Amino acid sequence: MFWRGTRFPFTACGLLAALLFQTWFFCRTLRDPWTDDADFNGAVWSQAAHNFLKAGLIDTAGIPAPFYFGPLPIPNEEYYCHHPGLLAWMVSGVFQLFGEHEWTARLIPISCSSLSVVFLWFIVASCAGRGIATLSSVAFVSLPMDLRRRQRCFPMWISILPHSFGITQNASS
């Protein structure tokens, strides 16, 4: 039980180091253009956010139209109802703040990935202690395939956050 008795500054420094590494890893390619096949989702959800800004949330009823490139109004058959619209809403909000750029669309999955590390730390800390939580956060951040995929605009990464928050709230009570 060495890890249970660790001091909080050690665990806070470990969590901070993990978050700084992940932020550095994501930001080093933040301004790269979308040319990889893994960037397809970013282009799709950015187009949905563009359509929200062009047509308005009220006219679209908050339903994304990621594959529509024509003039307004958007035809009914172009709305995409297979995934929740939260990612497109969040990207459209970031587009409204910072402009329509590829790097602004990447801010949402990067921030959600960073928040998921913090939620993971809280979940594991409530179950196994702060030292194990720090070790699991460092291990989570250092997985190479996840590092590649977590900076993509993919709706499942965003939907993990409310579940993680709910687990954190249930574990703390």
82 or 79: which carries more pLDDT confidence? 79
pLDDT at 65 over 90: yes
**Torsion (CA) 143, 148, 151, 155 in degrees, nearest 10:** -90
Contact 170, 154 (CB under 8 A): no
List pLDDT tens digits, range 129-161. 888 888 888 888 887 666 666 555 555 556 566
To the question of pTM greater than 0.85 for the whole model, the response is no
Burial of 48 (0-12, 13-18, 19+ CB in 10 A): buried
Q: What is the largest CA-CA distance in the chain?
A: 64
Q: How confident is the model at residue 3 (pLDDT cuts 50, 70, 90)?
A: very low
